[in-house]
Amino acid sequence: MAAGAPEKMHIIGAGLGRTATNSLKLALERLGHKTYHMTEALENRHQMIEWGRMARGEISHDDILDFVAAEGYTAGCDFPISLLYKDVMRRNPDAKVILTLRDPAEKWAAGFVETIGSFAYWATKPPMTLFRPGFGDLKLWLWKQAGMTLDPETLAVPFESAVTGYTKWKEAVIAAVPKEKLLIFEAKDGWQPLCAFLEIEAQMCPSAVGEAYPYAPNDRAFMVNLNNVMYFLSDWFLVIYFLTLVSGPSLLILAVRCCCCRAASVKEKAA
């Protein structure tokens, strides 16, 4: 576990991934909050290992939230921390909850199933399990926690299950969070409702100086391409690994021979 001075979580995003959570992260960071997001877990191997342990039941929800707090985060959104919003509320009674949406559910599901909703297959296989151990376990936990099912062969979330899961999750958050502590938010709403909800004075809100609400780049095409590449690598990993083992020494020997031949040629010319 990480060591450090624990921080309270003041804001927790309870929206599912692919609801402009990266834009919300940028907005919260602009307002001074160190914000936890899936990108942090992916970029830091030690964090993903801890999330994998939590997904396998080796540590509790409180243990992983202690870990996040010790890393200094004061806000969170997106998977995986959004699925622990109730635990965050219990630990931080004054925390405010932001439910990001991308309605209608069918529109959200269409983007979800062709991007992160299809990642579990290769996330549970090498080479991903070697570079980010725990990611596969976390993916399986995420979809179960969000009330979604998986195709037994592809481990992808079917479209119908994504629509149902999104709808039920939205309803559950609205029912669980007191109205005065909940902001239902879409990126198109901009700065003003967010600043008002967080009790930021109007003149201190970025919109007061004409600053546009941040929009993270649309990475849908990138994720689709990533999905295709990782499917290929996971299916053919053993073959690629074997060929690398075989070709590696051969290339080294060839390089040594070339160097020796070049050295001999230079020596002959010198003589």
> CA 235 to CA 240: how far, in whole Å?
10
Q: In the prediction, which pLDDT does 192 show?
A: 97
Domain of 261 in residue numbering reads as: 238-271
Q: In the prediction, which pLDDT does 1 show?
A: 43
Q: In the prediction, which pLDDT does 117 show?
A: 96
Q: In the prediction, which pLDDT does 54 show?
A: 98
User: Do 225 and 243 fall within a single domain?
Assistant: no
Neighbours of 198 (CB within 10 A): 18
* Averaged pLDDT for residues 210-224: 91
Sheet containing strand 182-185, strands side by side: 35-36, 75-76, 11-13, 96-100, 182-185
Going by C-beta distance under 8 Å and a sequence separation of 6 or more, which residues neighbour residue 140? 55, 120, 124, 150, 155
User: Do 186 and 269 fall within a single domain?
Assistant: no
Is 263's pLDDT higher than 50? no
* Averaged pLDDT for residues 22-39: 97
User: Do 247 and 151 fall within a single domain?
Assistant: no
Q: In the prediction, which pLDDT does 118 show?
A: 95
> CA 195 to CA 201: how far, in whole Å?
7
User: Do 214 and 247 fall within a single domain?
Assistant: no
Work out the mean pLDDT of the chain and round it to a whole number.
90
> CA 61 to CA 51: how far, in whole Å?
9
Q: In the prediction, which pLDDT does 266 show?
A: 42
Helix (H, G, I), strand (E, B) or coil at 215: coil
User: Do 132 and 59 fall within a single domain?
Assistant: yes
pLDDT band of 103, cuts 50, 70, 90: very high
User: Do 126 and 246 fall within a single domain?
Assistant: no
Q: How far is CA 140 from the centre of its chain?
A: 13
Peptide bond into 126 cis (omega under 30): no
Is 166 a domain residue?
A: yes
Question: Please, are residues 142 and 16 in contact by the beta-carbon 8 Å criterion?
Answer: no
Q: In the prediction, which pLDDT does 5 show?
A: 64
Number of domains the chain contains: 2
Across 1-5, 33-37, 45-49, 205-209, least confident range: 1-5
User: Do 243 and 138 fall within a single domain?
Assistant: no
User: Do 164 and 245 fall within a single domain?
Assistant: no
pLDDT (tens digit, 9 = 90+) per residue, 123-182?
999 999 999 999 999 999 999 999 999 999 999 999 999 999 999 999 999 999 999 999
Question: Please, are residues 167 and 188 in contact by the beta-carbon 8 Å criterion?
Answer: no
Going by C-beta distance under 8 Å and a sequence separation of 6 or more, which residues neighbour residue 156? 113, 117, 118, 120, 121, 150
Highest mean pLDDT (candidates 13-17, 128-132, 234-238): 13-17
Q: In the prediction, which pLDDT does 2 show?
A: 44
Q: How many CA atoms lie within 13 A of 21 on its CB side?
A: 26
The single residue listed with the structure tokens 């080796």 is 58
pLDDT band of 6, cuts 50, 70, 90: confident
pLDDT band of 253, cuts 50, 70, 90: low
